[in-house]
A and B are shown apart, each in its own frame.
Chain A
Amino acid sequence: MAEVAYVNASRVFPGTPPVRAVDNLELSVADGEFLVLVGPSGSGKSTALRMLAGLEDVDEGAITIGGKDVTNTPPKGRDIAMVFQSYALYPHMTVAENMGFALKLRGVPKAEIREKVAEAARMLDLTRYLDRKPKALSGGQRQRVAMGRAIVREPSVFLMDEPLSNLDAKLRVETRANIAALQQRLGTTTIYVTHDQVEAMTMGHRVAVLKDGILQQCASPRELYDRPANAFVASFIGSPAMNLKTVPLTPEGARLDGLVVPLSRSALDGAAAEGLSEVTFGIRPESLRLAAADEAGMTMTVELVEELGADAYVYGSVRIGEQSERFIVRVDGRTPPALGQQVEVTVRDADEVHLFHPGTGLRLTA
């Protein structure tokens, strides 16, 4: 068990121009915490994880595990276990040998290795496969062997790099729950990389969002969803994505077509202080609704209706200023509007509006 900290850590890949794959990362992970690193492809998640594993150099800053500076320690000295996206099982060893390899290298007595491997195998439902080679396993079983290999070592930190991305959708959901439960039970500090925001939101105690190597926000899933620190986090977290539009400001609030969404005094003052005449206005599909007959609303032309049973998502276009903007609205699944229909849309609650600086993307509302 240990806490982990990135202290202004950077990884710069040489090239013209050099790629700052991880840029000044400042992040601490508490003992026993499940932290998820999430971000689009190429955002530096894997690089950040590999720096922690010792597989990638730390060009600037430092990394500590359990309070000890490990910046220049080789992987074998860091007491970490890693689950690779490709699993990276040893093809010439049986499942049992794969799982026990690290212990064997440490000179743990054979009987003890066998016992620990058997226990991990029980936990992961692999007992029947212990004598097989990886070649003779299904994708899901290989994934569990990779997990088993990490568990058996009882490391102070687990690192997982998209361990579910090679599984089919159903197995992925199942395994997701299993990993979270396993981590809960073992209480081992875990850093988990994924590009899938649903995985991040459902598994992590905290979620760190990366983009272009820069940490955007690190917070609990709830906080991330309710108070995204910038427009990127707002658009990345949540599915379907938040509606984010640049709209003009009026003294009363933000104007969307025929609808003026009242904004709080503090938000308006904040925008005024910045000298803004426009803001990036964000609202989640579930915070929009169809307006009643006598209510003001913005007029939306329905272009697509996605019915999910209980709910339906309506995709349509709204004229804002000179442009036509796409909006997504969540409606009751039993009475969705028809394609091509014109509907009036309004905001459920003005408090659910997120405002961002149109230039920097930073959150304006407190």
Chain B
Amino acid sequence: MSVDAAALRSARGETRAAPTAARRGQRSRLASIGLHGALVTASAVAVFPILWVLVTSFKPDTRAVSPTPRLLDESTVDNYVDVLSGARGDFLAWFGNSVTIAGLSTLVGVFVSATTGYAVSRFRFPGRRGLMLTFLVTQMFPFAVLIVPLHNILLALGLLGQPLGLVLVYCTTTVPFCTLMLREHFDAVPTDIDEAGRVDGLSPFGVFWRLVLPLARPGLAVTAFYSFLTAWGEVAFASAFLSVADDSKTLSVGLQVFVQQNRAEWGHLAAASVLVALPAVVVFYLVQRFLVGGLTGGAVKG
């Protein structure tokens, strides 16, 4: 690799001075400044909206839209107190609902996708190709098209207005993607490992649970995070399928009380948004340490 890269560079006449000086991973000072400058700019662009929301969340609604926000002399935690105390709707109940629904969607979704992905990766059965194709096709429909049929199905099942119904709906959107994703990860685990496990005394499910799943942790992390975010931030299905009672809303639906037709409480909205973002950050933090590649390294030969 390194030889190829060096050869390529010298072929393009890009080697600087003596070839020994152009060691890998070394940059000139100018390149370094340029690179860091670009990274800082990109980070600032990415972080700025979040920073703005954070700043706004500490300001009274009336001053929220002023173009020169000052953090120090006008910041209060009033917005947070208002939001958390339930003065503007039952925030804590929404929060609880969201945690339950997103958590359940993650668990059920990842479990179903993992078992499906494993079956597709390891077993030959009729309809195996068709199944994956169907999964791809279902991803093509926009949410809006699905609302009415899903509504009817939930109604027929008696799950309309129930958190469980919404969990199932979220699973229908996450499972196809997660299955495709996990199947890739399972495929990367050599089948020799399955067989070694079976010879060592594992049942077929034991192989899945104790060998293949642990080795597919990066995939599980990604799919868990994806499932959680999908359920956590979704508005359309949540407002259509949950009962209208204030204490059965999810956060993303509830937040709308802060932005009414002719009156927007930007400060409160920002404070609530910060609170909403926190669990996502926590989940990401929990999950990111598994997002390392190369878990299966060393399984086979040398």
CA of A76 to CA of B300, assembled, Å: 22
Chain A at the B interface: SS class: loop
A138 interface residue per 8 A CB criterion: yes
Which of A85, A87, A101, A134 lies in contact with B200, CB distance below 8 A?
A101
Does any Cβ of B come within 8 Å of A277's Cβ? no
List the B residue with the shortest CB-CB distance to A136: B298
Give chain B nearest CB distance to A37 CB in angstroms.
17
For A104-141 the 0/1 string (1 means CB < 8 A from B) is 01100000000000000000000000000111111100
At the interface, yes or no: A191 with Cβ under 8 Å from chain B? no
A81 within 8 A of B: yes
Q: Are A75 and B199 in contact (CB-based, < 8 A)? A: yes
The answer, yes or no, to whether A142 is at the interface (CB within 8 Å) is: yes
Is B215 an interface residue when CB atoms closer than 8 A count as contact? yes
Question: Is A170 an interface position by the 8 A CB rule?
Answer: no
Instruction: Check: A86 CB closer than 8 A to any chain B CB.
Output: yes
Q: How large is the interface on A (under 10, 10 to 19, 20 to 34, 35 or more residues)?
A: 20 to 34
A7 located at the interface, meaning its Cβ lies under 8 Å from any Cβ of chain B in the complex: no
Q: Which stretch of B190-198, B229-237, B250-258, B266-274 is in the interface?
A: B190-198
**Distance A86 CA – B195 CA, assembled complex (angstroms):** 12
In Å, the complex CA distance between A102 and B192 comes to 16
A90 touching B211 by the CB < 8 A rule? yes
For the complex, give the distance between the alpha carbons of A91 and B296 in Å.
5
Task: Report the Cα distance A135→B298, complex, angstroms.
Answer: 4
| Contact assessment for A90 and B193 in the assembled complex, using a CB-CB cutoff below 8 Å | yes
Assess whether B198 is in contact with A166, with CB atoms less than 8 Å apart: no
Query: Is A334 engaged at the interface, CB distance under 8 Å to the other chain?
Result: no
Cβ B302 vs Cβ A142 within 8 A = yes
Interface residues of B, CB < 8 Å — how many?
25
Which residues of the other chain, B, contact A92 by a CB distance below 8 angstroms?
214-215, 295
What B residues does A82 contact at CB under 8 A?
195-196, 199
Give CA–CA (A153, B294) in the complex, Å.
29
Which one of B199, B215, B295 has the greatest number of beta carbons of chain A within 10 Å?
Answer: B199
Q: Are A166 and B296 in contact (CB under 8 A)?
A: no
In Å, the complex CA distance between A87 and B195 comes to 11
Q: How far is the CB of A169 from chain B (nearest CB, A)?
A: 14
Q: Which residues of B contact A137 (CB under 8 A)?
A: 298
**Given A135-B297, A138-B302, A142-B302, do A88 and B201 touch, yes or no (CB 8 Å)?**
no
Q: Is B10 positioned at the interface, with any CB of A under 8 Å from its CB?
A: no
Interface residues of B in 165-205 (CB under 8 A from A): 190, 192-193, 195-203
> What residues of B have a CB within 8 angstroms of the CB of A139 in the complex?
301-302
Instruction: Give the distance to chain B from A313, nearest Cβ to Cβ, in Å.
Output: 33
Give the complex CA separation of A139 and B200 in angstroms: 22
CB distance from B197 to the nearest CB of A (A): 8
- The smallest beta-carbon distance between A159 and chain B, in angstroms, is 8
- A75 cross-chain contacts in B, Cβ below 8 A: 195, 198-199
Taking CB atoms and an 8 Å cut-off, the chain A residues in 210-231 that contact chain B are none
Instruction: Verify if B299 is at the interface (C-beta below 8 Å from A).
Output: yes
User: In the complex, which of the residues B196, B294, B295, B300 has the most CB atoms of chain A within 10 Å of its own CB atom?
Assistant: B196
User: B214 — nearest CB in chain A belongs to which residue?
Assistant: A92
Complex Cα–Cα for A59 and B199 (A): 20
B298-A133 in contact (CB<8A): yes
Whether the pair B301, A87 counts as a contact (CB closer than 8 A) is yes
Cβ of A207 < 8 Å from any Cβ of B? no
Q: Is A53 in the interface zone, CB < 8 Å from B? A: yes
Chain A residues lying within 8 Å of B297, measured Cβ to Cβ, are 91, 134-135
Does A80 have its Cβ within 8 Å of any Cβ on chain B? Answer: yes
Tell me, in angstroms, the Cα distance from A97 to B163 when the chains sit together. Answer: 42
Q: Which residue of A lies closest to B198 (CB)?
A: A75
Residues facing A in B245-302 (CB within 8 A) are: 294-302
A13 to B214, CA, bound (A): 32
Give the complex CA separation of A96 and B105 in angstroms.
Answer: 38
Partner of B192, one of A54, A86, A106, A134: A86
Chain A residues with Cβ under 8 A from B198's Cβ? Answer: 54-55, 74-76
A81 touching B199, Cβ below 8 Å: yes
CB distance from A356 to the nearest CB of B (A): 39
* Interface pairs (16), CB distance under 8 Å: A76-B203, A82-B195, A86-B192, A88-B190, A88-B193, A89-B299, A90-B193, A90-B211, A92-B215, A102-B201, A105-B202, A105-B206, A135-B297, A135-B298, A139-B301, A142-B302
Given contacts A91-B295, A142-B298, 8 further A-B contacts (CB under 8 A): A75-B198, A76-B201, A86-B192, A88-B195, A92-B215, A134-B299, A138-B302, A142-B301
Report the 6 A-B pairs with minimum CB-CB distance, sorted nearest first.
A139-B302, A135-B298, A134-B298, A86-B300, A88-B192, A88-B196
B residues with CB within 8 A of A = 190, 192-193, 195-203, 206, 211, 214-215, 294-302
